Chains A and B, each alone.
Chain A
């Protein structure tokens, strides 16, 4: 995708929505649709993106859009795609259409995980995009299963005896890979070329696809709003959020030019401020060690997958 060509395209997610200054979710929606083009139907889970973009009588969506509830974006888009299949079989409809669902980490990792798993297993021709800002931002920064260890949230706050969230985040991208879907990837706000390439690639593949887009949230992470893209890039450089894709079981990892210490990313965010107190040094070291371990593990998977024959995804009949 070429930037000169991209800017000439029609805006399918317009400005004028009510997202915060520096909101990463709006960037995700805009760039995903930029890559997808106009023949796209979008379903969204309840959450920041839906709330800021569809306040009646206004809408930021220049493509058909449906929101029904919080936990069911994957099921809702399944129904839209099922009708498309039905009409195609009945020869009532012959356009090619992209079906994309958006959900935050709340609507995807947690309350919507069942619907997501079901839709992926059934093999709908859909792309599910998680805009992952690592907590329930729409309701005021509560912990989710995507929240990293040590982060300060309103339901796992830093207190006199607790140091923020006590558990590690769950690896949803790995869970999606385990569904044997033909394409799963991690992307980030701050690398538009990588994200749009991944969306284009995903939409060129028949079957269920999943992209987990790491989305800095200036409100919930507490950093300066102009730093959103920088925060995303730094997450990649510190391996807090590795960029990779898994195509039919084949891993491809995008390596940072120079792997930086995780503290460089953590220290810019209010949610991790307490980690830099002397008494929390052990936790900070633990986070670095776990980040390194996860990164090594990812590289190991890439290495194994490139040696072994990729398991073929059985095509639905």
Chain B
């Protein structure tokens, strides 16, 4: 195990640091709060000659992803970052990047979508593009943001699937934490060189990328993409194993926190998982068998593995930091409930929509959820969907 350096970094700084060590060929980006700092810091690395990256300060996020697609198809290791409206503007190009099987890495600092305009954290931006064909990896803190960025490059290139790594806007992106940074050489060795088979700058073997597929081929190509997406779960786990060797930190598709013997548990992504761990510890001291499942990989959705981890619980609360506007529940909850149907389990699952537009989620909010869960586990009825911390 390599010894890292202990430093203080915000989430944005940690992601920019990872990008410096990865040293991609091209970064094309457009600033947006709260992701701006990532590209600002990276631009300073370019200005100081610390990376060999060509930085393209494009005029919009749509062009950012378009330029990334051009660079990646041309054969280069390519990265960018954005938030919220920027991600929404990129949405068209996200689907195209995934369909072209281009291993672009995108740091998304989660922020609420307009309207009303709001710059603070929720997950509605990445949820909007959850079916775009990008792998989505959520981070609980700056350390995970850093580790996930480094792993993302390798995952993307091995699976030929683009990867989004998220942090929670301001909560992680601007929160200073103690993290462990790997040596530059270790990261360089870990990510290795990107060697695509076919690429635009290989002039001697010209390719046509982005051809028109009609009724006779589109379905077959999409079918292959779907299969590749399913198979990426194994790639994510392989890369995590390799990463554990250099970093001494282990990652899976999700993290179980005091879950194996738990009777009630929360499912929560991002920084809220950290808050939940504190509450779980407190409740455990009081003798309550509470636990947490923190999805790290939201796409592809690790259905079988999550079911296995949750199936023995008496009651579950799924925490959604966005609403689907489907008229009934949040996106994470819908995934989990649908999965239970497949194995014929009808378990009490409560859905809590929380933290929209950066509304604070406090330990006492989480404790309230656990107390309601206890009541449900004891046979009491509760509303299927609750809105936590909102003035009704």
Among the stretches A57-65, A189-197, A213-221, A289-297, the one at the interface with B is: A57-65
| Subset of 8 A-B contacts with CB under 8 Å | A51-B212, A68-B66, A68-B69, A78-B58, A79-B69, A79-B78, A80-B74, A115-B63
Contact assessment for A56 and B213 in the assembled complex, using a CB-CB cutoff below 8 Å:
yes
CB distance from A98 to the nearest CB of B (A): 10
- How far is A66 from B210 in the complex, measured between Cα atoms in Å? 6
A166 interfacial contact with B, CB 8 Å: no
B183 interfacial contact with A, CB 8 Å: no
Q: A122 — which chain B residues lie within 8 A by C-beta?
A: 56-58
Q: A89 — which chain B residues lie within 8 A by C-beta?
A: 52, 54
A226 interfacial contact with B, CB 8 Å: no
B209 interfacial contact with A, CB 8 Å: yes
A residues 106-157 near B (Cβ < 8 Å) are 114-115, 117-119, 121-122
- How far is A59 from B93 in the complex, measured between Cα atoms in Å? 22
Q: Chain A, 42-71, contact with B by CB distance < 8 Å: what is the 0/1 string?
A: 010000001100111101011111111101
- Contact partner of A54 (CB less than 8 A), chosen from B28, B56, B212, is B212
- Contact partner of A83 (CB less than 8 A), chosen from B63, B74, B96, is B74
Q: How many A-B residue pairs have CB under 8 A?
A: 165
A95 interfacial contact with B, CB 8 Å: yes
**Residue of A54, A69, A119 ringed by the most chain B CB atoms within 10 A:** A69
Interface residues of B, count at CB 8 A: 44
**Residue of A50, A76, A114 ringed by the most chain B CB atoms within 10 A:** A76
Known contacts A66-B210, A76-B66, A118-B63; A41 and B54 CB within 8 A of each other: no
Q: B208 — which chain A residues lie within 8 A by C-beta?
A: 54, 59, 61, 64-66
Contact assessment for B201 and A75 in the assembled complex, using a CB-CB cutoff below 8 Å:
no
The closest CB in chain B to the CB of A62 belongs to: B206
Interface residues of A, count at CB 8 A: 48
CB distance from B74 to the nearest CB of A (A): 4
Interface residues of A (CB under 8 A from B): 38-39, 41, 43, 50-51, 54-57, 59, 61-69, 71-72, 74-87, 89-90, 93, 95, 97, 114-115, 117-119, 121-122
B343 interfacial contact with A, CB 8 Å: no
Known contacts A51-B212, A67-B210, A69-B96; A80 and B73 CB within 8 A of each other: yes
Q: B7 — which chain A residues lie within 8 A by C-beta?
A: none
Known contacts A86-B26, A86-B76; A79 and B59 CB within 8 A of each other: no
B133 interfacial contact with A, CB 8 Å: no
- How far is A56 from B214 in the complex, measured between Cα atoms in Å? 8
Known contacts A68-B100, A75-B63, A76-B67; A82 and B56 CB within 8 A of each other: yes
B residues 49-96 near A (Cβ < 8 Å) are 52-54, 56-60, 62-64, 66-76, 78, 92-93, 96
The closest CB in chain A to the CB of B75 belongs to: A83
B211 interfacial contact with A, CB 8 Å: yes
B residues 12-67 near A (Cβ < 8 Å) are 25-26, 28, 52-54, 56-60, 62-64, 66-67
The closest CB in chain A to the CB of B221 belongs to: A56
Contact assessment for A87 and B210 in the assembled complex, using a CB-CB cutoff below 8 Å:
no
B residues 239-297 near A (Cβ < 8 Å) are none
Known contacts A66-B209, A86-B26; A79 and B201 CB within 8 A of each other: no
- Contact partner of B71 (CB less than 8 A), chosen from A38, A39, A62, A79, is A79
Known contacts A64-B206, A66-B73, A77-B70; A83 and B58 CB within 8 A of each other: no
CB distance from B384 to the nearest CB of A (A): 40
Contact assessment for B207 and A65 in the assembled complex, using a CB-CB cutoff below 8 Å:
yes
B338 interfacial contact with A, CB 8 Å: no
Q: A74 — which chain B residues lie within 8 A by C-beta?
A: 63
Q: B202 — which chain A residues lie within 8 A by C-beta?
A: 64
Contact assessment for A83 and B26 in the assembled complex, using a CB-CB cutoff below 8 Å:
yes
The closest CB in chain A to the CB of B54 belongs to: A86
B185 interfacial contact with A, CB 8 Å: no
B217 interfacial contact with A, CB 8 Å: yes
CB distance from B192 to the nearest CB of A (A): 15
Known contacts A67-B209, A79-B67, A79-B68; A118 and B73 CB within 8 A of each other: no
CB distance from B103 to the nearest CB of A (A): 14
B200 interfacial contact with A, CB 8 Å: yes
Q: Chain B, 208-230, contact with A by CB distance < 8 Å: what is the 0/1 string?
A: 11111110010000000000000
Q: A84 — which chain B residues lie within 8 A by C-beta?
A: 74, 201
Contact assessment for A66 and B200 in the assembled complex, using a CB-CB cutoff below 8 Å:
yes
Known contacts A65-B207, A72-B62, A93-B201; A80 and B70 CB within 8 A of each other: yes
B1 interfacial contact with A, CB 8 Å: no
The closest CB in chain A to the CB of B56 belongs to: A82
CB distance from A208 to the nearest CB of B (A): 13
Q: B207 — which chain A residues lie within 8 A by C-beta?
A: 64-65
Contact assessment for A72 and B93 in the assembled complex, using a CB-CB cutoff below 8 Å:
yes
CB distance from A42 to the nearest CB of B (A): 9
Contact assessment for B56 and A79 in the assembled complex, using a CB-CB cutoff below 8 Å:
yes
Contact assessment for A80 and B52 in the assembled complex, using a CB-CB cutoff below 8 Å:
no
CB distance from B49 to the nearest CB of A (A): 10
Contact assessment for A87 and B212 in the assembled complex, using a CB-CB cutoff below 8 Å:
no
Contact assessment for B66 and A75 in the assembled complex, using a CB-CB cutoff below 8 Å:
yes
- How far is A84 from B93 in the complex, measured between Cα atoms in Å? 21
A64-B203, A121-B59 are known; give 18 further A-B pairs, CB within 8 A. Answer: A55-B214, A56-B211, A62-B206, A66-B73, A67-B210, A74-B63, A75-B58, A76-B70, A78-B28, A78-B58, A79-B72, A87-B201, A97-B201, A114-B63, A115-B63, A118-B59, A118-B63, A119-B63
The closest CB in chain A to the CB of B63 belongs to: A75
Contact assessment for A55 and B212 in the assembled complex, using a CB-CB cutoff below 8 Å:
yes
The closest CB in chain A to the CB of B92 belongs to: A69
Q: A80 — which chain B residues lie within 8 A by C-beta?
A: 70-71, 73-74, 200-201
- How far is A61 from B210 in the complex, measured between Cα atoms in Å? 12
The 4 A-B residue pairs with the shortest CB-CB distance, nearest first, are A79-B70, A118-B59, A79-B67, A75-B63
CB distance from A158 to the nearest CB of B (A): 32
Known contacts A71-B62, A82-B26, A86-B53; A65 and B74 CB within 8 A of each other: no
